[in-house]
Chains A and B, each alone.
Chain A
Amino acid sequence: MPLDRSESPVQAGASEGPKPLPINRLRRVADLSALAFTSTAELEPIDGFPGQERALDAVRFGSSINKPGFNLFVIGSTAARMQRSVETMLQSAAADRAVPPDWIYVNNFVDPHKPVAIRLPAGRAPHFRAAIHDLIEDLKAALPGAFASEDYQTRRGAIDEAFHKKQADAFTELREKAEKKGLILVRMPLGFALAPAQRGEVVAPEEFHKWDEAKRREVEESIQSLEMELEHVVRQLPSWEKAHRDETRKLNRDTANLAVGQSIDEAKTGFADLPEIAAHLEMVRADLVENVGMFVTKAEGEESPAIDASPGGPFDRYEVNVLVTQEGRARAVPIIEELHPTLGNLTGRVEYLSLQGALVTNFRLIKAGAIHRANGGYLLLDARNLLLEPFSWTALKRILKRGEIVIEDVNRFLGLTSTVTLEPDPIPLDLKIVLFGDRLIYYLLFAYDPELIEHFKVLADFEDEFDRTSESEVVLARLVASVARDDALRPLDREAVSLVIEHAARLADHSGKLTLLIDQIRDLIVEADFRAAEASRPEVSRQDVQGALDEQVRRASRLRDRSREAILQDVAFIDTAGLRVGQINGLSVIELGGFCFGRPTRITCRVRPGSGHVIDIEREAKLGGPLHSKGVLILSGFLAGRYATDTPMSLYASLVFEQSYGSVEGDSASSAELYALLSALAEVPLRQDIAVTGSVNQHGEIQAIGGVNEKIEGFFDICRARGLTGTQGVAIPKANVQHLMLRQDVIDACAEGRFAIYPIATSDDGIALLTGRPAGEHTIDQAYCEDTINGMVERRLRGFANIRQRFGEMGSPASAPPISQNDVP
């Protein structure tokens, strides 16, 4: 509603001060005249997300553009239902994207610690895994069976027999030669020896020595000759054994090839269109044939000779690890939300098994992360959760930079393990990441991490509110209808909807705006529905909504009530009537756990001659924040600019928030501090029945502040508790009038003339209201009129200057002349 200029406040400078605001400016009621309905059951629920065109356009752009770096960063309040709206948009964008492929990991037979990644068309990975599994199951029976077959055993036996026959023939020939020469081949414990023999027995040494020389020499020569042959035979044994082994190995390979070949070829026919799969199956074939020894020993019922250090059985090396598959997915293109983005959950991990005291792993223990599962689609992450997890943010950036997914082992980062690990093939990245966070996180990241903008170029900033028009009120009414439908609540009647709309403006802290924090609206409606249910009403009424609002406040207001109690019991001094020099009721707002309430605070000021300092005691005590200190320092500028243009500023003033023992921040009380200062200088009392809020600049203009509704209501509650006098009220910046959405009881009191809200545009307006005297204007000689506030202040400050000057000339207080009447105002 536009400002009605006929109702504007009284011009500054008049002794009466500004006039109170009319009632219709204190709260803007809902206007649903354009929409005919009795309850939300008659309203068409709204689809889409009204008021978020800027953000939704950004999401639309970010989700469609297919270039590196154009990931989305969505900021706003969580209550604005950012994620739901983004997900809805992504679902429609996903319809235009191709279905992502499946990915598997298989054993790298050449380098087992570098598993091979193979891409398959969507949905085919489980089939390949099943095919390999069937193949292996077949081979588990076929391979041992092949080596247990009569055919194999016969061939193997023939090879052994041939080998042994070769040995036997060589020794037989040697023995026959020895017999012919009267010698015998003797088997020794560790070898062979040749000796003279008679009747098949070794000749005894004493017998031998009885032989003649010639015969002994002949025997010796024969033995030497045959020893050469014996040595030749024995030296040939290793080469015969090698040949035996080679033949056996060839037989094993040929047998394995026959046993494996048909199964492999059958498996290949199912994946003939995938060259990588065919190549892998050939490697499986080659590895099976090469390592058939494992199955041969098992077939012969013996234990495997070597301890297998890898987890699983011998056939596990041929299995398939399906990392990601699109089979069975509800959506063709994945939209994955990772709620716990640890490094492992995000980028995948390699798991280990403890085997005989050591940690071992293989390609089957590679687990997919959220990035794998979302690859080809969208990954939704909460920025705060991501940043809270060690290594996750940097790992994510590395992956985005590389353009491929690499599994990183956090234990190796930390040096906790030095066990053998895996380096799986990286998988190409085709992913759109959507980060959700509040504005603070985004802007901090932007300031401190230069890589942010490199990877998240699209900002989607969700509004917290939108303009309030009759059309937008209708939209909100339909949103209420949507919420009621979605949560299966009772329909809200027309008056209830109106109150919800007005509350939406209150939540937006502006009578001309409506909040878009739908979750907060939802919470209110849910509670109102509960109250309607308790009262057995078929529809939610205005009474239910108001009751819900009151209960929300009541639940959170324990500390507010204790604070109020302290004031009412005069533990905290707050006057709500009378006049005091250098004292005023300022207003502050306290926010605790999402609940805000206003609280009056006494501000006092003392002045004396000095060197021109306005002392902020809060700042001196290190209880004042920088914004508060800035506000106080502005007062010095104001004073100097108005009253000390031709006179040195010779003021010492001290300002304090009485009985405030916590930190104070913000400059919303600077106008109150100014009024207290002017009152102290002019020695004119201020009204204690009017509380003041507003920031002041160096020109004396009163600037807007926050929490105006809470501040007004905070002072009102104190005054009402003590009994409204009919003169009490609150002076607010004129710029804050548009933010007013006061409680009905405040409005009722104002309507009855028992309370008032005064819009203040300048400090002159304010001081006139609070003192009942005109502020004063410059006369022709640039001085203020003496009976105005400005004139009194000016005269006092000149007096301070004179005092200071005199002390300066004299050098010490003792030699200073007495203060004359002309010095003291």
Chain B
Amino acid sequence: MTGRDLHFRRIVLDLSGSGRNAQTAQFVAELAELLDVDLLGRFVEDSDIAKLAGLPFAREFRFLERDWHSLAQEDIMHASAIAVAAARRMFERATSSSTARHHFQVVRHAASAKMRRCDEQIAVIHPQARPEEPFELMLEAAFRIAAGVLIMPTKIVRRSGPVIAVAAVRDDPIVGLAQHLATSAGERLLRLNWPSGISPPTHKRELLSNGGQAAPRRWNSAMATSGTSGFPFGAPSERIVLVSRGTFDDATLSAIASLRRTPVFVVELDRDDAPL
């Protein structure tokens, strides 16, 4: 996808992975309405799991019982059916009042198998729902199937507020997408210029490296007064952040979503525009 051609047609919500979350599903349905795209709730039945049943000592440690269970084929299929049914119910409940075109799908393939990327597709990930999966791998896997990835926080704290577009270049197409979204949502658009390659402020790194124990108040006030070179989020409380991939590193993207508790929409596109 080139910078001038930012057009999406579908959001794919992985209901077998990190996307099986009611709040996420509701937000994604709302986003689909605003962007006027289709919403696909997909449950992938991992065929690799079925292989486990044939292994002699394979067994499953279940969350609820906190105990081990042997992996018989019937058990795997039964568990999968339960999971599919639960995912379907959650998806349908979350989208029942949405006007977006939505569809629930069950596919069977190996999780490890590569799927074809679609540039008009948006994937959704919820890092905190899959702590066993490194964020970077999760993000990379999402970009393998889609040109846009929506990073969801644990809890969305703001249902309204401006749409923030972080522009790395002068004519960053992310701004156009953000404008379209802001207009649909009836919100303000805030453009923040962040030339690519510039690292986030040191104390934000400290915040991230120390697991959130640094002084956020100092950081926020510094951000509020830092102007275009600063991280802007001491000012209006944003509803969603849109940014091109590469503007921030992966850790920063995750931090924005988790620390600010706001969804981050990352778009991967070719950078052939003049820098700021």
A residues lining the B interface (CB < 8 Å) = 148, 150-151, 153-162, 164-168, 170-172, 174-175, 185-196, 200-206, 208, 220, 223-224, 227, 230-231, 234-235, 300-301
Contact = CB atoms under 8 A, between A and B. Distances in A.
A164 B216 contact: no
A224 B57 CA distance: 9
Given A192-B132, A193-B60, A158 B66 contact: no
A193 B71 contact: yes
Contacts of B127: 164, 168
A547 B44 CA distance: 110
Given A154-B220, A161-B211, A171-B132, A192 B61 contact: yes
A201 B217 CA distance: 45
B115 interface: no
B89 interface: no
Given A190-B79, A192-B60, A157 B259 contact: yes
Contact of B55 (A166, A208, A300): A208
B82 A153 contact: no
Interface string B128-157: 101111110000000000000000011101
Contacts of A171: 131-133
A788 to B, nearest CB: 120
B80 interface: yes
Given A153-B157, A188-B79, A235-B66, 8 more contacts: A148-B158, A154-B217, A155-B212, A157-B260, A158-B207, A162-B211, A189-B82, A208-B55
B117 interface: no
B79 A189 contact: yes
Contacts of B234: 150
A224 to B, nearest CB: 8
A148 B220 CA distance: 14
Q: How large is the interface on B (under 10, 10 to 19, 20 to 34, 35 or more residues)?
A: 35 or more
B260 A193 contact: no
B52 A148 contact: no
Given A155-B216, A159-B212, A186-B49, A148 B157 contact: yes
B185 interface: no
Contacts of A150: 216, 220, 233-234, 237
Contacts of B219: 154
Given A150-B233, A300-B157, A162 B212 contact: yes
B112 interface: yes
B83 interface: yes
Given A150-B233, A230-B61, A301-B159, A202 B131 contact: no
Contacts of A148: 157-158, 237
A160 B211 contact: no
A161 B253 CA distance: 13
Contact of B61 (A164, A172, A193): A193
B6 to A, nearest CB: 29
Contact of B112 (A160, A200, A224): A200
Contacts of A203: 51, 55
Given A188-B60, A188-B79, A162 B213 contact: yes
B62 interface: yes
Contacts of A175: 132
A258 to B, nearest CB: 12
B103 interface: no
A165 B59 contact: no
Contacts of A158: 207, 211-214, 216, 259
Nearest to A200: B112
A196 B58 CA distance: 9
30 contacts: A150-B233, A154-B217, A154-B220, A156-B261, A157-B260, A158-B211, A158-B213, A158-B259, A160-B154, A160-B155, A161-B255, A161-B258, A162-B211, A164-B154, A170-B131, A172-B134, A186-B48, A188-B49, A188-B62, A190-B62, A190-B63, A190-B64, A192-B61, A193-B52, A195-B58, A201-B48, A202-B48, A202-B49, A220-B57, A301-B159
